[in-house]
Structure 1
């Protein structure tokens, strides 16, 4: 099943950068804590949505990219 991208390019870049920052903070800023692992996991999800250009939550509320 293929999903239609629903994130613009600038948001994909920001999600990827933010995800890397979240992983770094979760693993190095709060090492060995449950909160650190949760932050790092959330960062991994942000990177995945930025990489694929599809956000399931945005799709659930009907967000779409404008057609060219």
Structure 2
């Protein structure tokens, strides 16, 4: 694997729902610049949700802690 997932499951689901909503808006306004814009924005949102990796989040240093890291910390 070339990347480490940096999106939690709840955010992946939220991104997929948002991408579907953007797709509906794109279909509704298809043929106009706004429709094309919604389509262009929906594609990377859907791809990052399915893959589980967001390049912009990686640039910001965001990552998911591994279960072993959480167990090593112990209870807080």
Q: Same fold (TM over 0.5)?
A: yes
Contact 1:23 1:41 in 2 (8 A): no
- State how 1:1-68 maps to structure 2 within 5 Å: 2-28=2-28, 30-68=29-67
Q: CA RMSD in A?
A: 1.1
- Partner secondary structure for residue 65 of structure 1: coil
TM-score normalized by structure 2? 0.82
**Cα deviations by residue, 1:4-44 (Å, 9 ceiling, x for unpaired):** 0000000000101110110111121x121112111111111
In structure 2, list runs of 5 or more residues that go unmatched. 68-76
Runs of 4+ in 1 over 3 A off after TM superposition: none
